[in-house]
Amino acid sequence: MLSKVYSAGVVGIDGFEVAVECSAWDRVPRFELVGLPDTAVKEAKGRVRSACENSGFVFPELDIMINLAPADVKKEGSAFDLAIITAILQCDRILPSDFDFSGCALVGELSLSGEVRAVGGVLPMTLAARASGRREIFVPLDNADEAAVVDGITVYGVRTLRELINHIRGVELIKPRRFDASKFDLTSHIGEVDFADVRGQLKAKRALEIAAAGGHNVLMIGPPGAGKSMLAKRLATILPDMSFEEAVETTKIHSVNGTLRSSLVTERPFRSPHHTVSVPGLVGGGAYPRPGEISLSHNGVLFLDELPEFTKSVTEALRQPLEDSVVTVTRAAAKVTYPASFMLVCAMNPCKCGYFGDSTRQCRCTPQARSKYLERVSGPLLDRIDIEIELPAVSYNEISGKTKMGEPSSEIRKRVNASRRFTDERLAKAGDKTGTLNAKMTTEQLRRHCVLDEEASTLMREAFESLGLSARGHDRVLRVARTIADLDGEERITADHVAEAIMYRSLDRKYWRK
C-alpha cells in the first residue's frame, strides 16, 4: 500500500514543498520516519497515533514507513503532522484511496486529542504550495487568515482531525477562508504617541521627517532628558504607508519567527533591543537560524539607544547589512539569508556623564574619558549614518507647556507620503524602478538623479574638503539633499538643499575628528 500527500517546510523566510510518502505493509507493526527529520518531526509518531485514536479512528497496526522528500533537506518543526496522518489513513483505506491529493497541501500540528494547532511560517508555506501548483491548502484554523492573504489558492481552516477526515470523505465540507482586504488599512496609523507631544527640538523633528521620507539612518546626540528616545519612538508614527508587497514580506519574517500577532503586518516595525543584545540576537542565529532584530525591523526602524553601551562586535555586525540590505547567517545545519532593509536610528550622550557641551550643567569627564567613550562608536559605522543631530537640553518654557504645540504626526506623515510619491514619479520618468529609497540609491542612480548646478557643486566641494568626508560620506550628503528636494517637490537640487544636507553631517567632526 502506498500513498502520497504534500506539505511544506521553511528555510529562512522562504517555503519549500515537501512530499510526504507513506508505504505500509501487513506485517509486524512498526513506525519509521525518514527524510532528515529533526526531533520535533520524529516526535510526530506519538502525536499522530494519539490524535487518530482520540478522534475515533483505529490507528493501523502496520509496518509504516514515512519519507519526507526531498530527503537531503533538513525538516524541522511540527507542521508535517497533518500530512503524515493523512498519508497513513489513506494507506489504511480509512480515507478513500481514489481521493486525489495531488492538488492540495496539508500543514498543521496535531494535539494528542486530535485538535489542529497553529504553527509558524504558514504564509511562506502557502506561497510555496501555490508556486508548486497546489490549488488548495489545509491549515490550522488559527492560521487560516494568514494563509488567505495569498491569492490564487483555496484555503481551508481545520479545527480538528475529524473535521478534515469528514471533509475528505464528503460528509461535511469545510468552508474556504477568504481574504477580507477591508479589515486591513495600510494607510492609517493609530498609536499612543504623537510628535505633537514633543516640545521644542524643531531641528530634530525636521531631520527625522527627512529621514522618514528618504529612509536615511540617523544619529542623535544630546544630554540625558533632551528627548532622544522620545523622538525615536515617535518616528514610527510618521513613516510612510506600507505597500501590500512590503506588508507580505514583513509578515513572512514575523510568521517564521513566531511573533505574528495578526494575519497581516500593516504597520512598519519598530524594534528597540537592549544594549546587552548578543550578535546572534541582532543578526540572527541558532542551530537552525532564526531572524534577528535587524530582520525583524525589515521595512521599519531599528533603534539603538545608548549606542556606545553596545558591544563593539554588535555594532560592527551592522555594517554589512546596512550596505547590502540582507544578512546571511551560516550555521552547521543551514546557511540562510534574511532581508534586512531597515532605518538605523541611534541615540547617545556626548560623554559618559552626558553633559559635555551643555550650557546648564558642567561636564565631569576628563578629555581622555570623553575620547574613550566616543571611541566605542567606530568610524566605519558613522560613515554609514546619513543624518547626525545634536539635541540641546529642553528649556523651562518648552517643558512647562508655555510654547506652542508641535505638528501632529498625521500632518508630518502626509508630507512624507507626498515625498515618496514624488520620488516614485521622478524615478519612473527616468525609467528606474519605483519604490527605491533615496538612501539606497546606487552610484549610477546618484549620477542621474543628483546633478548639481555650479553653486551647489561649489558648496559640496568646500564641504568635502573642510569636513574631511569620505567617498561614502559624500554620496550620503547627496542622497539626503535629494530627499530634501523631494520634500520640496523640486526636480533640481539647489544649493539650499545641499547646505541643509551638509549641516546633518558635521557632528562627527565636532566629536570624533578634532
pLDDT at 436 over 90: no
Q: Which residues are registered as beta bridge partners of 248?
A: none
Instruction: Kindly state the cell numbers that stand for 257.
Output: 519567527
Nearest to 311 by CA among 336, 286, 283, 330: 283
**Does a cis peptide bond (omega within 30 degrees of 0) precede residue 70?**
yes
Q: What are 193-203's pLDDT values in tens digits?
A: 889 888 888 89
C-alpha atoms less than 13 angstroms from C-alpha of 157 in its C-beta half-sphere: 14
> How much is the pLDDT for 511?
76
pLDDT band with cut points at 50, 70 and 90 for residue 431: confident
pLDDT band with cut points at 50, 70 and 90 for residue 310: very high
Q: How much is the average pLDDT of 352-359?
A: 86
Nearest to 412 by CA among 424, 402, 423, 420: 420
- H or E element that contains 110: strand 109-110
Q: What are the φ and ψ backbone dihedral angles of 509, each rounded to 5 degrees?
A: -70, -40
pLDDT at 347 over 60: yes
Q: What are 113-143's pLDDT values in tens digits?
A: 999 999 999 999 999 999 999 999 999 999 9
Sign of CA pseudo-dihedral 139, 144, 147, 153: positive
Q: Do the strands 14-25 and 2-11 form a parallel or antiparallel pair, or are they unpaired?
A: antiparallel
Residues sharing a CB contact under 8 Å with residue 222, sequence separation 6 or more, in sequence order: 228, 347, 349, 350, 390, 391, 392, 393
User: 18 by DSSP, 3-state: which?
Assistant: strand
How high does pLDDT run on average in the chain?
91
> How much is the pLDDT for 433?
83
CA angle centred on 213, ends 211 and 214, rounded to 5°: 70
> How much is the pLDDT for 498?
93
pLDDT at 190 over 70: no
Q: When comparing pLDDT for 385 and 285, which is higher?
A: 385
Q: What are the φ and ψ backbone dihedral angles of 203, each rounded to 5 degrees?
A: -65, -40
User: 4 by DSSP, 3-state: which?
Assistant: strand
Burial class of residue 404, CB neighbours in 10 A (0-12, 13-18, 19+): exposed
**Distance, CA of 21 to CA of 10 (rounded, Å):** 19
Q: When comparing pLDDT for 146 and 262, which is higher?
A: 146
**Distance, CA of 253 to CA of 340 (rounded, Å):** 10
> How much is the pLDDT for 311?
94
Quick count: other Cβ atoms within 10 Å of Cβ 413? 21
**Distance, CA of 201 to CA of 412 (rounded, Å):** 15
pLDDT at 191 over 80: no
pLDDT at 362 over 80: yes
Q: What are 477-512's pLDDT values in tens digits?
A: 999 999 999 999 999 999 999 999 999 987 776 777
**Distance, CA of 312 to CA of 96 (rounded, Å):** 61
> How much is the pLDDT for 12?
87
> How much is the pLDDT for 398?
67
Q: What are 50-108's pLDDT values in tens digits?
A: 999 999 999 999 999 999 999 999 999 999 999 999 999 999 889 987 888 999 999 99
Q: Say what the pTM is.
A: 0.90
Q: Which residues are registered as beta bridge partners of 110?
A: 116
> How much is the pLDDT for 403?
59
DSSP string, 37-58: B-HHHHTHHHHHHHHHHHTT-P
Quick count: other Cβ atoms within 10 Å of Cβ 274? 11
> How much is the pLDDT for 506?
74
> How much is the pLDDT for 435?
83
> How much is the pLDDT for 486?
96
Do residues 8 and 128 lie in contact, with contact meaning Cβ atoms separated by under 8 Å?
A: yes
> How much is the pLDDT for 97?
79
pLDDT over 90, % of the chain: 68
pLDDT at 352 over 80: yes
Distance between first and last Cα of the chain: 79
Beta strands in 385-498 (DSSP E): 387-390
Nearest to 354 by CA among 336, 335, 374: 374
Q: When comparing pLDDT for 135 and 181, which is higher?
A: 135
Q: What are 216-225's pLDDT values in tens digits?
A: 999 999 999 8
> How much is the pLDDT for 401?
64
pLDDT at 207 over 70: yes
> How much is the pLDDT for 111?
97
> How much is the pLDDT for 108?
97
Q: How much is the average pLDDT of 355-384?
A: 88
pLDDT at 237 over 60: yes
pLDDT band with cut points at 50, 70 and 90 for residue 330: confident
Quick count: other Cβ atoms within 10 Å of Cβ 236? 21
